[in-house]
């Protein structure tokens, strides 16, 4: 199992790159040093709640986004959650009803697309 510091760091790096930010730009927006961002991303430093809050705000994401790790098994579920989180409660309920109406998958049909 990968150390939580490394997973958080990888997630920060992933979100930073997705937004087209350099470590320097993120550090400036978060009001922390560039070396601090680098150490967080490499898992060399424990992130405090305060420093995580600065990074979260600078990336304009939620704490939940920082802890939404990119395990290969969870990528599809994370994509679904992300897409549904931007929909209304009514839309989410409709999708849930659609999922409930699906017949159960047989083990043989559980293959990758």
Q: In terms of domains, do 43 and 90 share one?
A: no
- For residue 9, being part of any structural domain is answered with yes
Q: In terms of domains, do 77 and 58 share one?
A: no
Q: In terms of domains, do 62 and 76 share one?
A: no
Q: In terms of domains, do 85 and 33 share one?
A: no
Query: 5 with 45: CB under 8 angstroms?
Result: yes
- For residue 110, being part of any structural domain is answered with no
Tell me the per-residue pLDDT of 26-49, one tens digit each, with 9 for 90 and over.
Answer: 999 999 999 999 999 999 988 899
Which CATH number covers residue 56? 1.10.260.40
Rounded to an integer, what distance in angstroms lies between the CA atom of residue 90 and that of residue 1? 38
Burial class (CB in 10 A: 0-12, 13-18, 19+), 65: middle
What confidence score (pLDDT) does residue 72 get? 61
Q: In terms of domains, do 9 and 34 share one?
A: yes
Query: 16 with 40: CB under 8 angstroms?
Result: no
Q: In terms of domains, do 24 and 60 share one?
A: yes
- Domain span at residue 86? 72-103
Tell me the per-residue pLDDT of 62-113, one tens digit each, with 9 for 90 and over.
Answer: 888 888 876 665 667 777 788 888 889 999 889 888 888 888 776 554 445 4
Rounded to an integer, what distance in angstroms lies between the CA atom of residue 85 and that of residue 76? 14
Indicate whether this model's pTM tops 0.75: no
> Given a cut of 90, is residue 17 above it in pLDDT?
yes
């Amino acid at each position: 199992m990968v150390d939580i510091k490394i997973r958080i760091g990888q997630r920060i790096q992933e979100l930073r790159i997705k937004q087209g930010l350099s470590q320097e730009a993120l550090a400036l927006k978060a009001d922390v040093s560039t070396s601090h961002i680098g150490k967080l991303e490499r898992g060399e430093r424990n992130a405090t709640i305060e420093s995580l809050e600065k990074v979260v705000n600078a990336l304009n994401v939620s704490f939940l986004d920082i802890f939404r790790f990119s395990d290969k098994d969870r990528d599809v579920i994370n994509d679904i959650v992300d897409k549904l989180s931007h929909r209304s409660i009514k839309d989410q309920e409709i999708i849930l009803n659609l999922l409930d109406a699906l017949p159960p998958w047989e083990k043989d049909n559980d293959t990758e697309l």
